[in-house]
Structure 1
Amino acid sequence: MMIGSVRLELMIYDVQSLKEKRSVLKSLQTRIKQRFNISVAETAHHDVWQRAELTLVTVSNDRAVCDRELQRALALIDGQPEAERTVTEYEWL
């Protein structure tokens, strides 16, 4: 069994409150969960308006399958104009 996890930081531009930030993140998390076999959680920077940290995790019997799912989710995140991915760290268990 292979567990793949990605920790990534996002810069969320054009938000003026935590409420707006949460709206952007909630929308992004919902789309990822619906389209891919991935769990998503906000793991840091909870009280900062324009910065967020998300952790994505998936499980499979094959590392290539895990990597493909994570790459597809990252491509979805990169395609969102309201957020920019800055730091990305992978971990395999």
Structure 2
Amino acid sequence: MIIGFVRLELLIYDAQSLKDKRSVLKSIQTRLKQRFNLSVAETDHHDVWQRAELTMVTVSNERSVCERELQRALALIDGEPKAERTVTDYEWL
């Protein structure tokens, strides 16, 4: 069994309040959960308006399947015009 997870930071330039930030994050998280076989959560920078850290985790029998799922999820995030992905760290267990 392979567990792959990605920790990434997002910049949300147009957020003027925590409510704006939560709106963008909720939209991203909902689409990720609906389209991909993974779990996602906000894991840091909870009280900062324009910055967020998301962690995504997926499990499979093969590393290539995990990598493909995580790459697709990152492509969806990169296509989001309201947020920019900055730091991205991968880990495998």
The TM-score with structure 1 as length reference comes to 0.99
* Aligned partner of residue 80 in structure 1, secondary structure: coil
1:69-80 paired onto structure 2 within 5 Å: 69-80=69-80
Say what the alpha-carbon RMSD is for the aligned residues: 0.3
Number of residues of Structure 1 aligned to a counterpart in Structure 2: 93
Report the CA distance between 1:13 and its aligned residue.
Answer: 1.0
The alignment-based identity, stated in percent, is 83
d(CA) in 1 for partners of 2:35, 2:13: 24
Structure 2 equivalent of residue 91 of structure 1: 91
Post-superposition offset of 1:46? 0.1
CA distance in 2, matches of 1:17, 1:61: 41
Instruction: Give the Cα separation in 2 of the matches to 1:60 and 1:81.
Output: 30
Say which SS state the counterpart of residue 24 (structure 2) adopts: helix
CA–CA separation in structure 2 for the residues paired with 1:53 and 1:11: 9
Structure 1 stretches of 4+ with a deviation exceeding 6 A read none
Consecutive unaligned residues of structure 2, counting only runs of 5 or more, are: none
